[in-house]
Amino acid sequence: MTTPNNGDTVTIDYVLKRTDGEEIGNTAQVGPQDIQLGNGQIFPQIEEALTGMKVGDQQTIAVPCDMAFGPRREELIIEIPRTNLPPEPAPQPGMAMQAQSPDGQPMTLHIIEVGEQSVKADGNHPLAGEDLTFDLTLREIKQAA
C-alpha cells in the first residue's frame, strides 16, 4: 500500500479533543477534509504523521499549545469604547468582529463582556493555551501529478 508524499492531497476524518478528552470538533460536523501535504495547511505534527499512514490507518496525534495556537496572551484582551463600535448589531458576548492590530494586520476579536460604556474583547484564538489531540483516519490519497 502507498503512503502519501509532499504534494499529494489526502482526505482525512478527525476528532479534535482537549487533553482532558473533551471533544471540541470533528469531521462529522464539517465533512471529510482534503489537505495538500507540504503546503503548511495543518500543524506539522499532523502532516508528519499523515506521510507515514496508509489508507484506513488511524493515529492519535498530540499537539502542544505552543505548537498549535500558542499560549493565551493577556495583552490581547482589550477594552473598546462602545462609541468606537457601530450601533448595529448590538454587541453580545461571543460575537466576533474584525479589527486591525497596531501593526496594521487584520485580526478577529471575540467579545467576552459587554458594559454600558465599553466592551471587553479577546484577540486570542479560541483554542490559544490549549494542548490538543487529534484522532486521525486517512481516507484517501490523491497523488500529485
Q: What is the pLDDT of residues 86-105, one digit of tens each?
A: 888 889 999 999 888 778 88
Rounded to a whole number of angstroms, the distance between the first and last alpha carbons of the chain is 18
Q: Cα angle at 35 between 141 and 58, to 5 degrees?
A: 60
Output the pTM of the full model. 0.79
CB contact at 8 A, 95 and 110: yes
Fold assignment, 9-69+129-142: Chitinase A; domain 3 (3.10.50)
Domain ranges of the chain: 9-69+129-142, 74-122
The matching CATH number, chosen from 2.40.10.330, 2.50.20.10, 1.20.1250.20, 2.40.30.10, for 74-122 is 2.40.10.330
The answer to whether residue 1 scores a pLDDT higher than 70 is no
Place of cell 500529485: 144
